[in-house]
């Protein structure tokens, strides 16, 4: 490739000027781009003629100064490299403006009367420079990734707009993508960037239509300033929903919006408006059912309230208003107390008991929680020490760690120091880290959890299922147990099935990964039954005990059966049924033997119809294959049998995970008595047909008393 600079050296035109005679001659005019005056070769006249004819009016005065003959030599001698250079816009023969560079230098260093002028077309070069400048200006104004205004520029342009326009009915909207960092972690930076760009494109579309401003505020934050129409909020939410649905990976990472409506008489800068919109947005962060907040003045009051709480907390710690409550953890099948969780309570002098839900989020916001947490941890260690001193056995209990603690202090060092100070075994303190903390910085928290476990502290993953993580997350998390809060699953009557199946999936996944589970928030006997049939061994919930003051808890330990060994969280190898089915290691006959007698029933219009059975069915019921139809007829013929099945099916339908069980006494066609144990499970329902699974065991054969083993 020919060097560009070399190309530029080739002048289009060279003129020789004789200063003594005041005349000039064109020595070369290569491509005849520019007009050469023919009438005169008197330099002054030529210059004037070219000026009038073909120099851009804005460049005129510079042009005259450049061609001033009286100081030309002086200027040349004073210039770097003894070349005077200037650039002008000159009309080409085709009538278009083009940039030329003109350079004056002495023809011969010793001969000061003869000056040469080189004229070069620099149009292409100049255009490139202009484009570059424009590009630079643009990138300084526009964020490269999103194509939206950069924060500073956004503020400046909105402020300018406010100064010059009536801003009645305008709105500042803050947009934030929920848990965006996690999205990056899961799907990679490229997908994250694409998501950011897509949101930006949407917002740009909005401001183009409504003639407003859209800014990228960094991270996963955006702002738009637009004319506000009342129907707009609904429209915008709908837009976002459609947009999210286009890519299902984005479902957990919904944008949240905060609105600030500018009132006519109000004076506010763009950055204040944005701060207020963010304040409104923060009221809905983490709230999956409501995704936008509207600023109102009470939010400022809220900040005042938070400040008040903060000073109260400081005083409360000094005056020992914070106390420990304990909530026992129960081994479901033995009913023994096997552990407890320490929960803080604030006995405020004026306001009475305040729940942690009120003050913990505020303390987390400003980092003050760490003081409180360290105080609680120390109180727990003190309590364990006092039990040792009183000759009482130690029961391992867990304490909560806030996400802020993880960043603020050396967690491992802190727990080691506390347990050494009070000289208590590390195994009597378990550490709960919430799932949201894990989700925030999986790698960092993973390392801390590992270090804690290396130092012999057990680590529990608290509040699993509260919305941040997927089941897959469990594969990368090394903890001693996970805690699932039933309150996060909608377990009310209508949604019970869904809640239970979510719970079952988690339990299954945890089982495959061999991570033990503690279920929190179980309130009813039904829930306990269903949990125990899923294989959950430990429960902490109001069904057993509510959190109680420390002295009450100590009394309880005196009167109830306690397993001081703590939660037995050893990972017992458990067979996963699917492993049996998936791997073609087992023959049908073997699986049939494992399952025992099985029948599938179609229940419709009040009639029970056994549609298929396995080999074992005939064996256990001692039926011949041809008697199969008579079995069906038998059930439907006798009202008491039919009623029993109808009842079983109704209950199994209501308990899809646990199913129902019953003992059944009847007669074989031969008249012989039969005693069967039946387990019934609801499988699915289509067009009025409910399909059930029934497993039979002949109890006459299995009457062995295992209680004496």
Q: Closest separation between CB of residue 402 and Mg ion, Å?
A: 10
Whichever of 484 and 678 has its CB closer to Mg ion, that residue is 484
H or E element, residue 593:
helix 588-595
User: By the 8 A CB rule, do 350 and 319 touch?
Assistant: no
Q: Segment contacting ligand C2E (CB under 6 A): 199-207, 537-545, 632-640, 669-677?
A: 537-545
Q: Closest separation between CB of residue 404 and Mg ion, Å?
A: 15
DSSP letter at 42?
B
Which of 312, 405, 463, 500 touches Mg ion by CB under 5 A?
463
User: By the 8 A CB rule, do 105 and 84 touch?
Assistant: yes
Q: Closest separation between CB of residue 428 and Mg ion, Å?
A: 17
Q: Segment contacting ligand C2E (CB under 6 A): 103-111, 216-224, 235-243, 518-526?
A: 518-526
> Residues 6 or more apart from 118 whose CB is under 8 A from it?
11, 13, 14, 102, 103, 105
Which of 199, 520, 616, 696 touches ligand C2E by CB under 6 A?
520
User: By the 8 A CB rule, do 597 and 697 touch?
Assistant: yes
**Residue 400 binding ligand C2E, by CB under 6 A:** yes
Compute how many residues bind Mg ion; rule: CB under 5 A.
6
Whichever of 176 and 435 has its CB closer to Mg ion, that residue is 435
Whichever of 192 and 541 has its CB closer to ligand C2E, that residue is 541
Compute how many residues bind ligand C2E; rule: CB under 6 A.
25
State the binding partner of 439 from Mg ion, ligand C2E, none, CB within 5 to 8 A by kind. Answer: none
Q: Within a 10 A sphere around the Cβ of 21, how many other Cβ atoms?
A: 11
Whichever of 213 and 464 has its CB closer to Mg ion, that residue is 464
User: By the 8 A CB rule, do 37 and 45 touch?
Assistant: yes
State the binding partner of 369 from Mg ion, ligand C2E, none, CB within 5 to 8 A by kind. Answer: ligand C2E
Site for ligand C2E in 310-369 (CB under 6 A): 327, 343-344, 355-357, 360, 369
Site for ligand C2E in 468-487 (CB under 6 A): 485, 487
Identify which of 53, 31, 49, 29 has the alpha carbon closest to the alpha carbon of residue 41: 49
Identify which of 230, 225, 231, 200 has the alpha carbon closest to the alpha carbon of residue 210: 225
> Residues 6 or more apart from 688 whose CB is under 8 A from it?
604, 605
Question: Any long-range contacts for 123-128 (C-beta under 8 Å, 24+ apart)?
Answer: 123/98, 123/99, 125/8, 125/99, 126/87, 126/99
What single string gives the DSSP state of each residue in 475-519? GG---SEEEEEGGGS--SGGGHHHHHHHHHHHHHHHHHTT--EEE
**Residue 462 binding Mg ion, by CB under 5 A:** yes
Which of 121, 176, 432, 435 touches Mg ion by CB under 5 A?
432
**Residue 480 binding Mg ion, by CB under 5 A:** no
Site for Mg ion in 483-502 (CB under 5 A): 485
Q: Closest separation between CB of residue 307 and ligand C2E, Å?
A: 20
Q: Closest separation between CB of residue 406 and ligand C2E, Å?
A: 11
**Residue 59 binding Mg ion, by CB under 5 A:** no
C-alpha Rg value of the chain to the nearest Å:
41
What is d(CA 431, CA 461) in angstroms, rounded to the nearest whole number? 9
Which of 521, 566, 659, 695 touches ligand C2E by CB under 6 A?
521
Q: Segment contacting Mg ion (CB under 5 A): 102-110, 304-312, 477-485, 644-652?
A: 477-485
Site for ligand C2E in 405-464 (CB under 6 A): 432, 462-463
Q: Closest separation between CB of residue 387 and ligand C2E, Å?
A: 19
Which of 400, 419, 458, 469 touches Mg ion by CB under 5 A?
400
Q: Closest separation between CB of residue 415 and Mg ion, Å?
A: 16
State the binding partner of 613 from Mg ion, ligand C2E, none, CB within 5 to 8 A by kind. Answer: none
Whichever of 184 and 527 has its CB closer to Mg ion, that residue is 527
* Residue 375: exposure state from Cβ atoms within 10 A (0-12, 13-18, ≥19): middle
What's the angle, vertex CA 488, arms to CA 484 and CA 492, rounded to 5?
115
Identify which of 469, 472, 466 has the alpha carbon closest to the alpha carbon of residue 510: 472
* Residue 221: exposure state from Cβ atoms within 10 A (0-12, 13-18, ≥19): middle
What is d(CA 174, CA 294) in angstroms, rounded to the nearest whole number? 10
- Each residue 71-110 as x (binds ligand C2E by CB under 6 A) or -, in order, gives ----------------------------------------
* Residue of closest CB approach to ligand C2E: 542
Residues that bind Mg ion (CB under 5 A): 400, 432, 462-463, 485, 520
Residues that bind ligand C2E (CB under 6 A): 327, 343-344, 355-357, 360, 369, 373, 376, 400, 402, 432, 462-463, 485, 487, 520-523, 540-542, 547
């Amino acid at each position: 490739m020919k060097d560009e600079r070399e190309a530029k050296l080739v002048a289009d035109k060279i003129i020789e000027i004789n200063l003594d005679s005041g005349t000039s001659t064109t020595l070369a005019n290569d491509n005849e781009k520019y007009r050469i005056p023919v009438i005169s070769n008197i330099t002054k006249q030529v210059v004037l003629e070219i000026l009038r004819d073909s120099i851009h009016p804005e460049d005129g005065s510079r042009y005259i100064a450049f061609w001033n003959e009286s100081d030309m030599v002086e200027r040349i001698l004073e210039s770097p490299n003894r070349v005077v250079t200037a650039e002008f816009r000159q009309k080409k023969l085709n009538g278009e403006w083009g940039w030329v560079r003109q350079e004056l230098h002495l023809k011969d260093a010793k001969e000061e009367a003869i000056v040469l002028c080189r004229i070069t077309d620099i149009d292409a070069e100049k255009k490139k420079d202009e484009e570059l400048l424009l590009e630079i200006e643009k990138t300084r104004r526009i964020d490269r990734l999103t194509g939206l205004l950069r924060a500073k520029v956004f503020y400046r342009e909105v402020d300018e707009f406010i100064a010059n326009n009536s801003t009645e009915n305008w709105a500042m909207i803050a947009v934030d993508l929920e848990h965006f960092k996690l999205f990056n972690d899961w799907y990679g930076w490229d997908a994250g960037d694409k998501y950011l760009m897509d949101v930006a494109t949407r917002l740009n579309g909005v401001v183009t239509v409504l003639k407003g401003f859209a800014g990228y505020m960094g991270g996963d934050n955006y702002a738009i300033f637009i004319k506000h129409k009342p129907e707009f909020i609904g429209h915008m939410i709908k837009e976002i929903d459609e947009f999210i649905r286009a890519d299902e990976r984005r479902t957990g990472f919904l944008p949240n919006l905060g609105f600030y409506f500018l009132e006519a008489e109000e004076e506010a800068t763009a950055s204040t408006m944005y701060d207020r919109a963010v304040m409104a947005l923060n009221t809905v962060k983490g709230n999956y059912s409501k995704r936008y907040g509207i600023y109102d003045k009470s939010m400022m009051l809220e900040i005042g309230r938070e400040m008040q709480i903060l000073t109260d907390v400081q005083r409360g710690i000094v005056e020992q208003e914070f106390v420990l409550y304990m909530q026992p953890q129960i081994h479901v099948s033995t009913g023994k107390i096997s552990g407890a969780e320490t929960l803080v309570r604030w006995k405020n002098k004026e306001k009475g008991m305040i729940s942690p839900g009120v003050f913990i989020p505020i303390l987390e916001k400003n980092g003050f929680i760490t003081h409180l947490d360290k105080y609680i941890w120390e109180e727990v260690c003190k309590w364990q020490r006092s039990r040792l001193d009183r000759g009482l056995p130690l029961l391992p209990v867990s304490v909560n760690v806030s996400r802020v603690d993880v960043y603020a202090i050396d967690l491992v060092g802190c727990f080691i120091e506390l347990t050494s100070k009070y000289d208590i075994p590390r195994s009597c303190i378990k550490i709960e880290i919430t799932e949201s903390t894990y989700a925030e910085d999986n790698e960092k928290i993973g390392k801390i959890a590992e270090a804690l476990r290396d130092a012999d502290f057990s680590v529990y993953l608290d509040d699993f299922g509260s919305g941040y993580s997927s089941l897959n997350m469990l594969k990368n998390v090394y903890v001693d147990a996970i805690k699932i809060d039933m309150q996060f699953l909608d377990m009310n009557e209508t949604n019970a099935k869904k809640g239970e199946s979510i719970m079952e999936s988690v339990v299954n996944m945890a089982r495959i990964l061999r991570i033990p589970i503690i279920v929190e928030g179980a309130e009813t006997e039904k829930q306990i039954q269903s949990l125990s049939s899923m294989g959950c061994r430990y429960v902490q919930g109001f069904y057993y005990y509510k959190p109680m003051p420390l002295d009450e808890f100590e009394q309880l330990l005196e009167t109830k059966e306690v397993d001081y060994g703590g939660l037995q969280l050893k990972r017992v190898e458990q067979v996963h049924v699917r492993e049996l089915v998936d791997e073609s290691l087992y023959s049908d006959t073997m699986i049939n033997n494992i399952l025992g007698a099985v029948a599938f029933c179609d229940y419709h219009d009040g009639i029970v119809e056994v549609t298929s059975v396995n080999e074992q069915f005939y064996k256990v019921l001692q039926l011949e294959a041809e008697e199969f139809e008579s079995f069906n007829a038998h059930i439907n013929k006798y009202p008491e049998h039919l009623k029993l099945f109808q009842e079983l099916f109704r209950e199994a339908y209501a308990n899809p995970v646990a199913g129902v069980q019953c003992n059944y006494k009847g007669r074989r066609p031969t008249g012989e008595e039969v005693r069967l144990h039946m387990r019934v499970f609801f499988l699915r329902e289509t067009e009025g047909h409910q399909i059930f699974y029934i497993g039979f065991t002949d109890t006459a054969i299995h009457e062995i008393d295992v209680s004496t083993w």
